[in-house]
């Protein structure tokens, strides 16, 4: 089982609580690991006989993490508890904050200023010159208030503040409106204002040199991990090229209507050998034939497949 930020949550589901009216004791036990925001029994949730299921919402994800680790498979009033995360109880806002917190955590621990684009800019690249017409009411002020969010990150690779000197014409215009919005919602008005002043006097620097400059500082890093180019990888790359165009390129034409999530194309494998290629082509064509003949059914149920693309029960952790 792989733990990602999506699986974790401030919400914990506790199963196997003996139905002895021990809610208070249960909550007290969990409260040892951190402040609890809410808790209640989940009467509708399937439970084994004589047991109850509870939902406990911690104020902080880290506390939930520790509590889960310690309390899972622990005996409680003679019954074995099973504790798992319950991200499905999150609201959109809570999910958003969870993702943002992870961002902040990484930025902090890696001492980097992470650049992320939050939608505060109206019409990002093309209408760069228009300073944000609408200020999007950002509900999460937390998203731009972190003390380690440094606007200079747009021009730096490792977020070192000396990179403010970068010519960042386009970039600065792009980011300028963001700072305005940021200034409204964050306390770091002074910092932002002064930094935008620094960054602003960039000319009309076209984006290309900027990209090039961006890659320069991390060159030594790239050298160290030059991708292996095995044959398998080469084939995969070619495959990916094909997929890329199929997914992104041709959609613009709209000749083919994409209704469901795009199914991956049958990869065109180049076997580097004529006879093998011929065989591969024959097989591929055959597959295509077969696929076409049954294509009506799978193609026509895109809605159902996309509405619930995920029929498998998730294993709860």
Q: How far is the CB of 143 from other proteins (least distance, A)?
A: 8
Which of 6, 278, 279, 281 binds other proteins (CB under 8 A)? It is 6
Judged by CB under 8 A, the stretch of 27-35, 69-77, 194-202, 309-317 that binds other proteins is 309-317
Eight-state DSSP code of residue 314: P
Contact 36, 58 (CB under 8 A): yes
Strand 79-80 with 75-76, pairing: antiparallel
C-beta atoms surrounding 185 within 10 Å: 19
Interface residues for other proteins in 77-106 (CB under 8 A)?
Answer: 87-92, 95-96, 99, 102-103, 106
Distance between alpha carbon 9 and the CA centroid of its chain, in Å? Answer: 14
> Cα–Cα distance between 94 and 10 in angstroms, integer?
9
Dihedral sign of CA atoms 173, 178, 181, 182 in order? negative
Interface residues for other proteins in 244-273 (CB under 8 A)?
Answer: 244, 247-248, 251-252, 254, 257-264
Interface residues for other proteins in 207-226 (CB under 8 A)?
Answer: 207, 211, 214-215, 218, 221-222, 224-225
Q: Does 193 participate in binding other proteins (rule CB under 8 A)?
A: no
> Cα–Cα distance between 119 and 96 in angstroms, integer?
13
Cα separations in angstroms, 116 against 105, 167, 181, 243: 14, 19, 15, 26
Q: Does 18 participate in binding other proteins (rule CB under 8 A)?
A: no
Q: How far is the CB of 276 from other proteins (least distance, A)?
A: 19
Interface residues for other proteins in 101-140 (CB under 8 A)?
Answer: 102-103, 106-107, 109-110, 112-119, 121-125
Judged by CB under 8 A, the stretch of 32-40, 72-80, 153-161, 285-293 that binds other proteins is 153-161
């Amino acid at each position: 089982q792989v733990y990602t930020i999506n699986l974790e949550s401030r919400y914990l589901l506790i199963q196997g609580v003996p139905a002895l009216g021990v809610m208070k004791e249960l909550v007290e036990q969990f409260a040892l690991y951190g402040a609890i925001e809410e808790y209640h029994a989940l009467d509708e949730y399937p439970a084994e006989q004589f047991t109850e299921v509870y939902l406990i919402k911690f104020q902080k994800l880290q506390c939930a993490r520790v509590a889960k680790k310690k309390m899972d498979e622990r005996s409680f009033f003679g019954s074995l508890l099973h504790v798992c995360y319950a991200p499905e109880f999150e609201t959109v806002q809570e999910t958003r904050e969870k993702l943002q917190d992870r961002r902040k955590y990484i930025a902090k621990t890696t001492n980097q200023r992470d650049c992320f684009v939050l939608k505060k800019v109206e019409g990002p690249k093309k209408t760069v010159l228009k300073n944000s017409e609408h200020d999007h009411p950002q509900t999460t002020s937390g998203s731009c208030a972190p003390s380690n969010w440094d606007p200079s990150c747009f021009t730096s690779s490792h977020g070192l503040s000396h990179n403010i000197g970068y010519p960042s014409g386009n970039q600065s215009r792009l980011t300028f409106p963001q700072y305005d919005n940021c200034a409204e919602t964050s306390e770091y008005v002074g910092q932002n204002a002064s930094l935008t002043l620094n960054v602003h006097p960039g000319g009309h620097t076209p984006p290309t040199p900027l990209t090039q400059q961006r890659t320069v500082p991390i060159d030594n890093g790239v050298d160290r991990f030059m991708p292996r180019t095995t044959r398998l990888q080469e084939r995969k790359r070619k495959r990916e090229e094909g997929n890329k165009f199929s997914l992104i390129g041709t959609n613009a034409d709209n000749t083919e209507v994409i209704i469901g999530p795009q199914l991956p194309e049958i990869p065109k494998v180049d076997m580097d050998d004529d006879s093998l290629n011929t065989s591969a082509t024959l097989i591929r064509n055959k597959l295509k034939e077969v696929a076409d003949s049954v294509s009506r059914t799978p193609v026509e149920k895109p809605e159902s497949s996309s509405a619930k693309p995920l029929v498998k029960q998730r294993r709860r952790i």
